[in-house]
Amino acid sequence: MTDLRIQQPHDDATFADWQYVHNAIIPAHLLSIEEIRERAQRNHLEVAYLGDVLVGCSTVRPPAEGTPTATVIARVLAPHRGRGFGEELYARGIARARECGAEVIETVVLSSNEDGLRFAHKHGFAEIERYLLPGDTVPWIDLRLS
């Protein structure tokens, strides 16, 4: 995995790559570049490439003031799953969350994302809540690292 390059999005091209991965994996909640730029102000975003090929992205939502919980989300495009890229994004996300003072780690997965749910369960996450956002038809699942 020596060719895996992970970086924060910093220009139109890398924000568009982050957007592509997010929107491909979460079609129920498409984000615009403007929304992603806004998220990058409050969350830690990263995008991953194998050489020059886009493979995934991640989000770390740091703990809110007075809370111990951070949310870590790793996303890998389907053709690149099962090769350790999610592991790398996840490990970096956990480390970043801990640097931000997180004592509790959560993630969120769209219930239709069976690969994402398998990954979360394999890494010690347990479901804590299932819900629909307004207008959604596919439930979201919040999971907590045990």
For residue 110, is it within any domain?
Answer: no
Counting residues of the chain whose pLDDT is more than 90, the rounded percentage is: 91
Instruction: Report if residue 65 sits inside a domain.
Output: yes
CATH code of 94's domain: 3.40.630.30
Q: pLDDT confidence of 20, banded at 50, 70, 90?
A: very high
Least confident interval from 70-74, 131-135, 139-143: 131-135
The CA-atom distances, in angstroms, between 1 and each of 31, 49, 77 are 29, 11, 16
Note down the domain range covering 98.
Answer: 4-104
- Per-residue model confidence as pLDDT tens digits over 53-107: 999 999 999 999 989 999 999 999 999 999 999 999 999 999 999 999 999 999 9
Please check whether residue 34 lies inside any domain of the structure: yes
Q: How many CB atoms lie within 10 A of CB 54?
A: 18
- Looking at residue 2, what is its pLDDT? 57
Give residue-wise pLDDT tens across range 28-42. 889 999 999 999 999
Residues 111-137, mean pLDDT to the nearest whole number: 94
139 belongs to a structural domain: no
User: Which pLDDT value is given to residue 119?
Assistant: 95
Q: Is residue 31 part of a domain?
A: yes
In a domain, 61, yes or no: yes
36 neighbors 19 (Cβ within 8 angstroms): yes
Cα angle, residue 31 at apex, residues 46 and 139 outer, rounded to 5°: 100
Q: Which residues contact 38 (CB under 8 A, 6 or more apart)?
A: none
58 burial via Cβ count (<10 Å: 0-12, 13-18, 19+): buried
Q: What's the total number of domains in the chain?
A: 1
Instruction: Determine, yes or no, domain membership for 68.
Output: yes
129 is a domain residue: no
In this predicted structure, what is the pLDDT of residue 1? 47
Tokens of 31: 């984000």
